[in-house]
Structure 1
């Protein structure tokens, strides 16, 4: 969860915020139930508290195992799916936050699921000034670079000359990969540690 929250800082999502608030409320209720049961010496409340604590242990242990077992290929597949389903506004926010251009390739048109909006919209330094701002990856497609149909652009990739002209060398996946790998391993280790502590208390 910690790794997901860190990455989600670059993408605005009401669902993510709602999930974080729900987790916070659950943990607060759990702490209050344990406190009330201890103060009143109520066996019924303490038993209910133990059940909640054991449920939390199961969730944390499952998250720990999932994070530690997640391979780099799985991580890339998950992030790529999220990128493909994200609107242009979310992609621009991510490119601006990570200072990157495109997901893994800079030679895909914007209407391709794995493509990206013009990188100049993210206001990244590599698309500023002359002649960088005129690069295709920065200014977006034109009729001379991509073939237009009656309804939308075709999925023709850039030529090698156009690709080499792109001044932006950092892709978003190259930045996310390091953060995600470190975050998932840290999250898995911490979750496993806390789950062991919780089951020992139970």
Structure 2
């Protein structure tokens, strides 16, 4: 059965927001699961992932309520926020796809310096590596990380740095991350059309107005 224009826009917007709600709940669940099983001990990483999940969940709820009740103010703010998220996500996705080896190393160095010591040792134990990169830029930090490293490879003659192990698959990971980000960016673009239709509509199920002949007959 073919639905009307406004009804299709309403159903499409509701379906997309249900998907966003599921993604938000999935992010919150994965973060809680990782914390519960001790996979990630840094409260900043857990808090960041949960914050993204809660933000996505709230935006989806606003869009869903606005679509169901045809609340034009909520739909307007939903569209504005989604546009800002699209710009940010599109820029980050393009940056991931265009990032070279030197930029990857700089990003890893900045991220590693912000990690807590407990998070660093957790990564070293799980990846069986020590330190980030054995370079001349921050040799003192590398020596300190090597001293605190709990990895089993430290007892062997050969122990790779965590930076080298991460950079081995960094290109593939960035391509996947950029591709997924672009995909969700285009899904956010697809939301604009049904949202615009609902904003310009006075009601979802507008009753059919009587024709001119019917009016004359009634009079």
TM-score of the superposed pair, with normalisation by structure 2: 0.60
Q: How far 1:84 moved relative to its partner?
A: 5.0
Q: How far 1:82 moved relative to its partner?
A: 3.8
Q: How far 1:36 moved relative to its partner?
A: 0.7
1:185 aligns with 2:213: no
Q: How far 1:26 moved relative to its partner?
A: 1.0
| Larger helix proportion of the pair | 2
Find the aligned partners of 1:37 and 1:174 in 2 and give their Cα distance: 48
Find the aligned partners of 2:181 and 2:64 in 1 and give their Cα distance: 23
Q: Which runs of 5+ in 2 are unaligned?
A: 1-26, 32-37, 193-219
Find the aligned partners of 1:42 and 1:88 in 2 and give their Cα distance: 48
In structure 2, relative to structure 1, the CA distance for the partners of 1:86 and 1:193 (3 Å cut) is: closer
Does structure 2 conserve the Cα–Cα contact (< 8 Å) formed by 1:104 and 1:174?
Answer: yes
1:68 aligns with 2:58: no
| Residue in 2 that maps onto 1:140 | none
**CA deviation profile, 1:77-116 (whole Å, cap 9, x unmatched):** 221244456565444322211111333339x9xx812223
Query: Does the residue aligned with 1:117 lie in a helix, a strand or coil?
Result: helix
What does 1:1-202 correspond to in 2, within 5 Å? Answer: 12-84=41-113, 88-105=117-134, 112-115=140-143, 116-118=145-147, 121-125=149-153, 127=155, 132=156, 167-202=157-192
| Residue in 1 that maps onto 2:5 | none
Q: Which runs of 5+ in 1 are unaligned?
A: 133-166
Find the aligned partners of 2:78 and 2:116 in 1 and give their Cα distance: 42
Q: How far 1:64 moved relative to its partner?
A: 0.7
Does structure 2 conserve the Cα–Cα contact (< 8 Å) formed by 1:96 and 1:122?
Answer: yes
Q: How far 1:48 moved relative to its partner?
A: 1.9
Does structure 2 conserve the Cα–Cα contact (< 8 Å) formed by 1:67 and 1:185?
Answer: yes
Find the aligned partners of 2:91 and 2:126 in 1 and give their Cα distance: 31
